[in-house]
Amino acid sequence: MTKNAQSGREDGAHRIFRRTSTVDPHAGLGAIARITRMSFRYPVMAGLALVATVAAVLMQLSIPVILGRAVDQTQAVAASNAAPETLYPIAALLFCASVARGIFTLIQNYTAESVGHSLARDIRNSTYGKIQSLPFSFHDRTHSGDLITVGMLDLEGVRMFFSTALVRTVLLGLLIGLGATLLLSTNLTLGMLALSFVPFAAMAQHCHAAGPAPDLAYLARTIGRS
C-alpha cells in the first residue's frame, strides 16, 4: 500500500468517525440530501408511501365534510319527519371514508418502513466494507464504542429518516395547508380562531424537543471522559 493511499483511507475514516462537535452544522444539509437520494433508490416503495400519504390526508379531510353534511341531513330528516333510512347512504359513505383512511395509513407505514430498512441495510453494508478496508492504525486509535455507535445508533436514526422526517413532513404539510384552506373557506372568523393556536403549539413542540439536548450532551461528555 502506498503512502498516499493509506493517507486517503485514514482521511476517509476521519470524516466518518470524527466527533460531533467538530462537524460543520451546515454540512448536515448535504447529508440530508444524500439520504433523500438514497431513499429514492427504491422508487416503487417510496412512491407508494407518498401516494398513500396523499390519499390518507384526503380521506382524513373528507371525514369532517361528510360529518357536516350528515348533521345537516339529520336536521332536515327530523324537521320533515322523514324515514331514518334516508340517512343510511351518508352513514355508509362515512364508514367507507374511515376504512379507506385506515387502509391508506397502513400502506403508508408499511412502505415507508420498508424504504427505511432497505436504506439502513445499504448504509450498514457500505460502512462494514469501509471498516474492513481501513488500516490497522485506525483500529488502534478508534474505540470500539465509536464503531458500535455508527453501526447501531447512527444507522437507526438514518433508518427513521424517510418515515419520520420525509413522509411526516409531507403529511403535516398537506394536513395543515389543506385543512387551513378548508377552515377558512367554510368560515373565515372561526377558521382564523382555530388556526391562532397553531403557532403556539408549534413553539411548544419545538421547546419540548430541544429541551433535553443539553442534558444528553453533558451525559455524552461525561461518559467520554470516564
Same-domain pairing of 217 and 148: no
Same-domain pairing of 148 and 204: no
- Cell, residue 214: 443539553
DSSP 187: -
**For a pLDDT cut of 70, what percent of the chain falls above it?**
74
Same-domain pairing of 208 and 149: no
Q: What is the pTM of this model?
A: 0.71
Give me the mean pLDDT over the 90-99 stretch.
91
Give the pLDDT band of residue 102 (cuts 50, 70, 90): very high
Same-domain pairing of 191 and 204: no
Residue 225 identity (one-letter amino acid): R
Same-domain pairing of 31 and 128: yes
Place of cell 382524513: 60
- Angle of helix 167-186 relative to helix 188-195, nearest 10 degrees, comes to 140
Instruction: State the Cα angle at 201 between 198 and 206, rounded to 5°.
Output: 125
Whether residue 171 is predicted with pLDDT greater than 70 in this model: the reply is yes
Would you state the pLDDT for residue 201? Answer: 77
Same-domain pairing of 122 and 211: no
Q: Which residue, 221, 225, 202, is CA-closest to 213?
A: 221
Over residues 54-76, the pLDDT tens digits come to: 999 999 999 988 888 888 888 88
Same-domain pairing of 166 and 66: yes
Over residues 9-18, the pLDDT tens digits come to: 545 545 555 5
What's the domain count of the chain?
2
User: In which domain, by residue range, is 100 found?
Assistant: 3-19+26-195
Same-domain pairing of 177 and 100: yes
Would you state the pLDDT for residue 150? Answer: 66
Q: Which residue, 154, 161, 169, is CA-closest to 39?
A: 161
CATH code of the domain containing 165: 1.20.1560.10
Whether residue 6 is predicted with pLDDT greater than 80 in this model: the reply is no
Place of cell 465509536: 146
Are the beta carbons of 49 and 108 closer than 8 angstroms? yes
Over residues 108-155, the pLDDT tens digits come to: 999 999 998 888 888 888 877 877 787 877 777 777 666 766 667 777
Would you state the pLDDT for residue 22? Answer: 55
